Amino acid sequence: MARRAVPISLSTGAGGAVAALVLAVIALPLGAVLLRADASSGLGPADWAAVRFTIWQALLSAALSVGLAIPVARALARRDFPGRRALIALMGAPFILPVIVAVLGLLAVFGRQGGISAALRLFGLPELEIYGWQGVVLAHVFFNLPLAVRLILQGWLAIPAERFRLAATLGFSARDIARHIERPMLRNVAPGAFLVIFLISTTSFAVALTLGGGPRATTVELAIYQAFLFEFDLGRAALLGLVQVGICVVAGALVIGVARPNLAAGTGLDQPVRRWDAQTSGARVFDGVMIAAAAAFLLLPLLAVVLRGAGAIPGLPPGVWMAALRSVLLSLATAVLAVGLALPMAILIARGRARGLLEVIGALSIAVSPLVIGTGLFLILRPVISPTAAALPITGLVNALAALPFVLRALVPGIEQAEAGYGRLALSLGLSGRQYLRHVLLPRLRRPLGLGAGLAAALAMGDLGVITLFAAPQQGTLPLEMYRLMGAYRTDDAAGAALLLLLLSLGVFWVFDRGGRLNAAT
C-alpha cells in the first residue's frame, strides 16, 4: 500500500526513540528476571499447583463470562427499553473500576455477611464461601462478563438487518435463526472474547491477592508476590515470572491467531435489532430475566460500596487522605506519561512505518505483566538505590506501560483519520513539525487523547499490583491503604476508602474524557 504524502519530519525520530525506550523498559527487567531465575531446583509442587490453578481458573472464568454473556447480549440486541443505553454504558465501567473496590462490593453481596448469605441462612441453607477459587472466578466474571457482553453484542448488531428480515419471510423458527444466523456469528466472535478474557484472567493479581491464596487458590502472579515479599526468594520469584511470561505469550498468541476482537467495542451499540422470532411471551420473559440479572450482578456490589462507604468518608483517618493524594498525583503523572509515550508511537504506527513491530512493542506489556516488570526493576535497582525510595515513580512507569496498548488503540485511528483528511492540505501549506502537531493533529485528537489519558489515569488510580512489591507502609497508594484496612478488619474505614477510590477513579476518567470532548474538532 502506498504511504500517505504527509509531513514526515514530525515525530518519526521521536516515535522510534520512544518505541526503543518502551522496549528497553520492558526487555531489561525481563532480562534481569531471566538472569536471576533459579532454574536449578525447577518448579516445586506449590509452583506447579499455582500454574495449574492459573490456567484452570482463567479457563473457567472465560467460559462462564462468555457463556453468560451470550443470552445477555442477545437480550440487549433484540430488546429496547428505558435505560438500555445506560446499561450498555455501565458494561464499560468495570474496565476503569478499581479491582479492590469491586472485591469489597462482591464481599458485601456474596460474602458471609452479605445479603445472599443472609437469605440462605433464613432458609437454613449454608452460607456462601467467597474466599478461595470460587471468589477468584466470581470476581473475574464480574469484571469480564461486561466485556464479553459488549464484544458479543457488537457481533449481534453487526448482523445485517436484512438477514433477520429474510429469515422472517422464509418462515425461520427460533431454532433456524439460531442455526443459520446466530451460531455462525458466535463462532466468529466468541472464541476471541473467550481468549481475551482468558488472557486477562491469567494476569489478574489483585483478585487472587484479596480473594484467593492458600494451596488451592494461588495464581502464578500471587506466587511471585509471596516468593518476593514473604520468602524474599528472588530466584524463585524470577523463575515464576518467566513461567507467567510463557503463559501470557501463549495466550496472547492465541488471541492474535484466532481472533482480534474489537476491544473498543462500544460505538454503535445503541440500536436494537428488530426480530420477528422474539415476540413470544416466553422470549420476552427470558430476555427480561437475563437483563435484570446482569444489571443486578453489576450494580448491587457497586451499590453496596456506595451505601456502606457514604457514612464512613468523613471519619477516614489522615493516612487515607494522604494515600488518596498520592494516588491522584500518581494517576495524573501516569496519564501524562502514557500519552507522552503513546502519541509519537501512534503517529509512526498510523503512517505505516514498521507498523507490525511497533504494534508488538506497544502490546508487550500485555504479555509481560506489570508484576513481572516490577520484579525485574526491583532486581535492577536494588544494588543501586533502595527500591522503596523509587516506589511511586516505578509504579507510575509500570502503569503507563500497562495502559500503553489501550492509549495506542485510542489514538491510532484518530491520527489515521486526521492525516487522511488534512495531511495533503498541511503539506501544501508547508505545515510541519510543531505547526503540524498544533494545527492539524492535536485539535483532531482531543477526544482520543482525553479517552486515552482517562483510561491511563483510572487504571493507575485503581492499581494494586506493582505498588505492593515496593511501597513502604507510609507511602502507600489509596488501593494499598484500603487493602491494609481490609486486612486489619477496619471495615468501616475500608468501606469509606473504597467509595473514595471509586469516586476518584471515575472522577479522573470523567475529567479527562469530558475535557477531550469539549470543543473537539471533527
Which residues of this protein are in contact with other proteins, per CB under 8 A? Answer: 160-163, 165-173, 175-176, 179-181, 184, 274, 276
| Distance of closest approach, residue 168 Cβ to other proteins, in angstroms | 4
Q: Which is nearer to other proteins, 3 or 175 (CB)?
A: 175
| Distance of closest approach, residue 290 Cβ to other proteins, in angstroms | 24
Are residues 346 and 411 in contact, defined by beta-carbon separation less than 8 angstroms?
Answer: yes
HSE at residue 104, side-chain half, CA atoms within 13 A, is 33
Closest-CA residue to 226 (of 37, 486, 39, 47)? 47
SS3 270: coil
| Distance of closest approach, residue 279 Cβ to other proteins, in angstroms | 8
Report the C-alpha gap between 108 and 309 in whole angstroms: 11
Q: Which is nearer to other proteins, 166 or 325 (CB)?
A: 166
Q: Which is nearer to other proteins, 9 or 169 (CB)?
A: 169
| Distance of closest approach, residue 175 Cβ to other proteins, in angstroms | 7
3-state secondary structure 107-157: HHHHCCCCHHHHHHHHCCCCCCCCCCHHHHHHHHHHHHHHHHHHHHHHHHH
Q: Which is nearer to other proteins, 35 or 158 (CB)?
A: 158
Report the C-alpha gap between 61 and 144 in whole angstroms: 8
What single string gives the DSSP state of each residue in 336-386?
A: HHHHHHHHHHHHHHHTTTTHHHHHHHHTHHHHS-HHHHHHHHHHHHTTTS-
Q: Which is nearer to other proteins, 41 or 173 (CB)?
A: 173
First to last CA, the chain: 26
| Distance of closest approach, residue 171 Cβ to other proteins, in angstroms | 4
Closest-CA residue to 250 (of 199, 203, 200)? 199
Instruction: Copy the grid coordinates of residue 348.
Output: 509512526
Report the C-alpha gap between 304 and 343 in whole angstroms: 39
Q: Which is nearer to other proteins, 78 or 351 (CB)?
A: 78
Report the C-alpha gap between 408 and 406 in whole angstroms: 5
| Distance of closest approach, residue 173 Cβ to other proteins, in angstroms | 7
Distances from the Cα of 201 to the Cαs of 63, 212, 248, 266, 349, in angstroms? 11, 13, 10, 21, 28
Q: Which is nearer to other proteins, 164 or 198 (CB)?
A: 164
Q: Which is nearer to other proteins, 268 or 433 (CB)?
A: 268
Distances from the Cα of 259 to the Cαs of 101, 183, 189, 262, 506, in angstroms? 31, 16, 8, 9, 31
| Distance of closest approach, residue 79 Cβ to other proteins, in angstroms | 18
Are residues 309 and 499 in contact, defined by beta-carbon separation less than 8 angstroms?
Answer: yes
| Distance of closest approach, residue 170 Cβ to other proteins, in angstroms | 6
| Distance of closest approach, residue 271 Cβ to other proteins, in angstroms | 13
Report the C-alpha gap between 202 and 240 in whole angstroms: 13
Q: Which is nearer to other proteins, 183 or 355 (CB)?
A: 183
Using the CB atoms, write b or e for 21-44: b if 16+ within 10 Å: ebbebbbebbebbbebbeeeeebe
| Distance of closest approach, residue 223 Cβ to other proteins, in angstroms | 44
Q: Which is nearer to other proteins, 64 or 177 (CB)?
A: 177
Within 8 A by CB and 6+ apart from 383, the residues are: none
